[in-house]
Structure 1
């Protein structure tokens, strides 16, 4: 660890010297600048240099300063998401049922957590009880539920639910499972029927053999 720290100090010092040398415009100092630059590059290419850079970049504070607080990065992300290519990318991505299902599940978990937190809150519980115990609210709810608008809204909600990626994925799983079960059961019935047919043939052949043997014995007796 001490060796890596020393290496970082050396690289920083060389970088400072390189910058100072680079600011000079005289032609005689250009070879010295190139030499120093080559030394820094060579040090960074060594295993210790790579390890030191990796440790620096893995530091959480350094990540925040370099990436999260970079206006260039933020602007690039915003432009990428809001651009036409970005919109097409996200549209195509959400057309994938598996991705849509995973995304919806992640959002569902957050909604469940929020609902549970609210239900556990005493003030929220008290407010809900007061609302539900109010006769006027109850009558209004019954009136709304009996209205044509509510029924239309309910039908629309059911239709939208059936078109959601999670519902489609679940229905696909149910249909595939039912098809596999039907295939397995039909295969079992077919095997059982073949077994019964073979058993009947064997019994028939056995009966014919017994009849033939009886006839032979009768002929011998006469």
Structure 2
């Protein structure tokens, strides 16, 4: 407020100086008339647009108000409480519901807002996950029959399936995801091919053992038959 008053006073002093100069010039010339309001206004605007005038005003405002960039960023406890209550009233008031919705539909505002609260929400979730009571509450919530019914209803819905198919298509169109999938398939095929030769070698060994056992049993039968004939 003080800064605004100081700017107004500076403008008033400038206008008075210009008026006095114009009147003095008009009196000395005799026939020349004084400056009109339009000319005076244009001159004041031109002066204020110059870099020197803007720097002078900024230095004067900072000196008169006693604020610097560091001190202006510092808020006392009372100011913080007032800001907190004001934000709370705005967020909870039905009158500002439409305004907030329109703001959140703005991509630029939504992006900046999400960046600002993302880190805070992340820290809150990390702390909640470590809380035993919060963990028990999550377990009870997921074990609830009502919640399971809602989840099943959502999964069986056509909208969910469309979103899931769209997500899968986007993932398959991603080159990194495709490369990872091909790598997993290659490893799975290599492991399957490595298992089959072992099974075949194990099967051939069993067949050889079985054939050797059969040959031994046949030899024993033939030898026993010959011994019976000789007797």
- Give the TM interval when normalised to the shorter protein: 0.3 to 0.5
Please tell me whether Structure 1 or Structure 2 has the larger radius of gyration of its CA atoms. Answer: 2
TM-score normalised per structure 2: 0.31
TM-score normalised per structure 1: 0.32
